[in-house]
Structure 1
Amino acid sequence: MLGVTAAVAALGLTATLAGCGATGAKGDVTLTLVAADYDLVGGDSTEKYWAGLTAAYEAKHPGVDIDVRIESWDDVDRVVAELADAGRAPDIAQIGAYADHAARDRLYTADELLSVPVQANFLGPLISAGEMKRVQYGMPFVASTRLLFYNKRLFADAGIAEAPTTWDELAAAARKLKREKVPYPFALPLGPEEAQAETMMWLLAGGNGYTDDGGRYVIDSDANVSTFRWLKDELVDKGLTGPVAPGKLNRKAAFAAFSRGEVGMLNGHPSLMKEAAKQGVDVGMVPLPGRDQEPRASMGVADWIMAFKQNGHRKEIGEFLNFVFDDANVLKFAGENGLLPSTVSASVAMGSDPEHAALAPFLRALPNSRLYPVGKTSWAQVSEQVKKNIGRAVDPAGSPDAVLSTIGREATTAEDAE
C-alpha cells in the first residue's frame, strides 16, 4: 500500500490530501484523486497509467493540476470514507462502492459532470448498477467477469481430461491434483482483500446470491448455507484448498500462486489470464460449475469513479472525467490490465481487435452477468462484514450456518436502516 507521500513522490507531484481542493502552485485548481491499485504483482503499473494520463491532461489544461494517491484494494474504500468523514474528501475517488456517499449527498450526479455522449456510452448493465433511486452517481471505470481458470499442464499430469462441469467433477479433479502434490488443488481466497467476490461467485453457482429478485438480502438462505457447507465439507476439510486457510488467503496471493504454476484451479478475472501467460502457464477457462449444471449467471464486477462536491470543482472535475472516459484512455487501462472496458464503443473496439481475442469469453459474459448490489447504501457495510467474517464459515471448527446467519442478520438490519 502506498501512502499519500509515497504515491505523490512517485508521480512527481507536490500536493497532499491535506490540501484537497486547494489552489495549486502550478495552476489555478488542484484536483485530488484517490485510486485503487490494480497491479497483481506489486509493481507500479497503476501509478504509471495515472501519471501518464494526468500529464497528458495537464499539458492541455494548464490551469488544472491533478494529484493522485494510490491505495491497495484492501484499504481504498475505507481510506476514502475516512477522508470524507473527516471533511477532507478527495475531488475524485476510484473505488468499489458509491451508494453510501451518494445517500449522504456527498456526490455529484453523473449528468452534472459528463457530456451526454459520454454518459450514454456506458454499457447498459453498468449504468443500472451505478444508479441509486434511478439517479446515476457511480461512473463505471472498468469491468470484469469471472470464469473458472485451470492449469492445463497440471490437469494433464493428473490425468484430468476435461474441465469440470459440476461440483462433483470439480471436487474429483481437486482430489487428483492433490495426489499429484499440487500445492493448491483449488485455491479459495476468502481473505479480506476480495472475499465478497469469491463468495458471490459461489452463491451464484449454488443457485442463489446476495439478494433475491426483489433486491432484498438473502445471505443466509438455505441455498447459500448449503453452498458453504459443500465448500467446507468437500474442499476445505479434505485438504483440497492448499496450505493457507481460505480465510487468510487473499486474491492477490492466490493469483500469484496460479501464475507460478502452484494452483490447479481457481476463480479468476481477465487480468490473471495475462499475468499467467507471461509466466508460461497454459490457462484453460470455463464457467464456474453449478451444483449440477452451469449457474444461472456469472458474476460481473464494475469498479467506480465518483466525484465529491465538497471542494466545489464541478466544472474542472467534469472536464477531467470526460477525458478519462475517452476511448483511447479506457482501452489503454483495460488492455494493460487484462480487464474489460466500461463503454460500448471501447468494448466494440476491443472485441474486434485480434490482440484481445482471448478476452472474448469475458466480453460475451458481461452483458448477462450479475453485479454486486452496489446501489444499496448498506452494501459497503455488508461487503465489509463478508470480507471480515466469511472465511470463518469454512474453518475447521467453523459453522457455515452460524456465520451466514450472523452476516445475514446484520445485512437485514443495515438494509432496514437505509
Structure 2
Amino acid sequence: MQRRQERQGRRTGTIAVGSALGMTAVLAGCGLTGDSGDVTLRLVAADYGDSTANSSQKYWDQLVKEYENTHSGVQVEVSVYSWNDVDRKVKELVDAGKAPDMAQIGAYADYADAGLLYQADDLLSIRTQADFAAQFATAGQVKDVQYGMPFAASTRLLFYNKTLFKDAGLTAPKTWAQLAADAAALKERGVKYPYALPLGPEEAQAETMQWVLSGGGGYTDSFGTYALDSAENVDTFTWLKDDLVDKGLTGPVAPGKLNRAAAFSAFASGDVGMLNGHPSLMKIAEKKGVKFGMVPMPGVSGQTKYSMGVADWMTAFKQGGHAEQVGDFLDFVYSEKNVLAFSREYDLLPVTNSASEVMATADQDTDLKPFLQELPQSELYPVGKTSWSTVSAAVKKDIGKAVAPGANPSTVLSRLESTAAKEDNKQ
C-alpha cells in the first residue's frame, strides 16, 4: 500500500488514448512514445455496446480523460473489439509474442497456467482486492492464486410476457411443474414459443447451467470435479425432454438450433411466453413495448436456491514488465465511481462490494435490483479450470442433442463428461 501511495503522489499530467476504432493515427501526431521515462500501456477490451453510440470505447475514453488529470509519465492505448473477436485477437497477440499489458476478456485460466499473467497480488492495492465480491475473487483463482480480476457480472432470471400471462389467466411459475403447465396453457392459445429453450451453439452453456442448478446439480461437484452426468443433471435433462420439448412446448425451432439472440428477439416480438434472460433483455423488450415480469428460476419443488452467475475478466500479462503502472491504472479502473458508471451504462452488475452497496439502495438502479439480489447466491462457470474452454465448447456443440427426438439424455451427458474428464486429466 505504501508503495502505491508513494507513486501516486509523484504523478500529475496526461495520458494519450488510442483505440481499435481509428485513433492510432491521431496518437502518432500527439507524441505517442513520449519522453524517455514514459511508459505506454496497451489494453485490449471487449465491446459491451450494441451500437456505435454506446460503444465501450466511449467509456474507456472518458475514464482515461479523468485519469490524465492526476497522472503523468504513463500512456494508455485502448483497443476495443467485439465479443466475437476479442478473445481471438488477444490469443493472436500472445501467440505472436506481442501480449498486451492488459486484456479484458472472457477467460484467463489458460494464460495463468502457462505462467503468462501477473497475480492480482502483484498489481492491486489491498483495498481494491478486498473490495471484490467474494465469489468472484475465488472464481478468479488457479490453484488458490488469483490471476483473473472480475470486471463485469450478470445473473439470470426467468422473464415472462405479462400480457400473454394475463390473457391466459396465469401467474409466474415457482416450480418446474407450474412452468410446464403455464407453457401448455400458452401453447393452447397459439403462443409460438411457450418456453424458449436456447441450446444452440451461441450460449448453450448458460442455459444448461441455469437448468442444472435448478435441478440441484451443476457442472462440477462439491470437490470441484466435473460431474456433467450426475444423477441430478440426467434427471434435469430427462424432464426437459419429456415434459417440455417432446410436448411441443419449446417452439418451432429445435432447442439445439435456437440461439440466445434469436430467443431474445422473439421475446421482444411478443412470440415467447417465458425464457431465461440477463439484464440486457430488459432494454430489448422495452424498446418493442413488451410488458414483462421477472422471477427467480423455478426449481423442482420451489424457486431455485442458486442462480447462474457470469463474470468477465481483466488480466495483466507479464511480458511488458509494467506491474507498477498497470496496478496503478487498475486501482483507478476499480474505483467505486468507475465500476458504477460501467455497470449502469451496460446494465451489468458490479463486481465490487462498494459499488454493489450503492446500487442496492439507489433509485436509478431499481431495474437491476432483482438481478443484484440473486448475485450473492450465484454460481459461476468453473473458469479456474484450464479445461473449461474446451468443455464449454463441447457443451455448446452437443447439449442440444440431449433433448432431440429419440435421444437419451444420459448418453449425451456421459459423452460430455468423458470429454471433460479427459481434458481435466491433461492438467
Q: Which of 316, 327, 335 pairs up with 1:318?
A: 327
Give the corresponding residue for 2:378. Answer: 369
Following the alignment from structure 1 to structure 2, what is the Cα–Cα distance between the partners of residues 267 and 43? 27
The residue type equivalent to 1:119 in the other structure is: Q
- Aligned match of 2:276 in 264, 267, 291? 267
User: Cα distance 1:248–1:76, how it changes in 2: closer, same or farther (>3 A)?
Assistant: farther
Q: TM-score with structure 2 length normalisation?
A: 0.87
> Does residue 1:97 correspond to 2:96, yes or no?
no
Distance change in 2, residues 1:138/1:156 (3 Å): same
> Partners of 1:15 and 1:397 in 2: how far apart?
60
The CA distance in 2 between the partners of 1:313 and 1:127, in whole Å, is 23
Whichever residue aligns with residue 294 of structure 1, its letter is: Q
Equivalent residue for 1:126? 136
**Contact 1:24 1:65 (C-alpha < 8 Å) held by counterparts:** no
1:31-70 to structure 2, matched below 5 A, reads 31-39=41-49, 44-58=54-68, 61=71, 63-70=74-81
Q: Tell me which amino acid in the other structure corresponds to 1:239.
A: G
Distance 1:403 1:58, change over 3 A: farther
1:347 partnered with 2:347: no
Distance 2:251 2:26 in 1: 44
Q: What is residue 236 of structure 1 aligned with on the other side? A: 245
Which AA in structure 2 matches 1:94?
Q
The Cα shift of 1:59 comes to 5.8
Task: Tell me the TM-score normalised to structure 1 length.
Answer: 0.89
**For the Cα contact (< 8 Å) 2:183–2:194, is it kept in 1?**
yes
Q: Alpha-carbon deviation of 1:237?
A: 2.8
Secondary structure at the counterpart of residue 140 of structure 1:
strand
Q: Which has the larger radius of gyration?
A: 2
Q: Which AA in structure 2 matches 1:97?
A: A
**CA–CA separation in structure 2 for the residues paired with 1:229 and 1:333:** 40
Mapped partners of 1:252, 1:39: distance in 2: 15
Q: Does the residue aligned with 1:264 lie in a helix, a strand or coil?
A: strand
Q: Does 1:87 align with 2:97?
A: yes
Q: 1:110 is aligned with what amino acid?
A: A
- The number of equivalent residue pairs is 404
Paired position in structure 2 for 1:196: 205
Instruction: Flag structure 1 segments of 5+ consecutive residues without an equivalent.
Output: 1-6, 17-22
Does the 8 Å contact 1:40/1:252 carry over to 2?
Answer: no
Q: SS of the counterpart of 2:379?
A: coil
Supply the distance in 2 between the matched residues of 1:42 and 1:406 (Cα, whole angstroms). 42
| Native 8 Å contact 2:21 2:79 kept in 1 | no
Percent identity, aligned pairs only, is 57
The CA RMSD measured in Å over matched residues stands at: 2.5
Q: Deviations over 1:70-126 (max 9, x none)?
A: 122x45434433432342322222122211211111101111111111111111111
Distance 1:169 1:112, change over 3 A: same
User: In 2, are the aligned partners of 1:8 and 1:14 still within 8 Å (CA)?
Assistant: no
Q: Which of the numbers 368, 375, 378 marks the counterpart of 1:359?
A: 368
Instruction: Provide structure 2 residue ranges, at least 5 long, that are not aligned to the other structure.
Output: 1-17
| Superposed displacement of residue 61, structure 1 | 4.4
Partner residue in 1 for 2:286: 277
Residue 24 of structure 1 deviates from its aligned partner by: 3.8
Cα deviations by residue, 1:129-159 (Å, 9 ceiling, x for unpaired) = 1122221111111112211111111111223
Relative to structure 1, the CA distance from residue 8 to residue 101 in structure 2 (aligned partners, 3 Å threshold; closer, same or farther) is: same
Shift of 1:40: 5.3
SS of alignment partner, residue 299 of structure 1: strand
Residue from 163, 174, 180 that aligns with 1:171: 180
Compare 204-213 and 60-69 and name the one that shifted more: 60-69
**Hey, what does 2:24 align to over in structure 1?**
13
Shift of 1:274: 3.6
- Summarize the Cα distance change of 1:49–1:262 in structure 2 as closer, same or farther, 3 Å threshold: farther
Amino acid of the residue matched to residue 142 of structure 1? A
Counterpart CA distance in 2 for 1:274 and 1:171 is 27
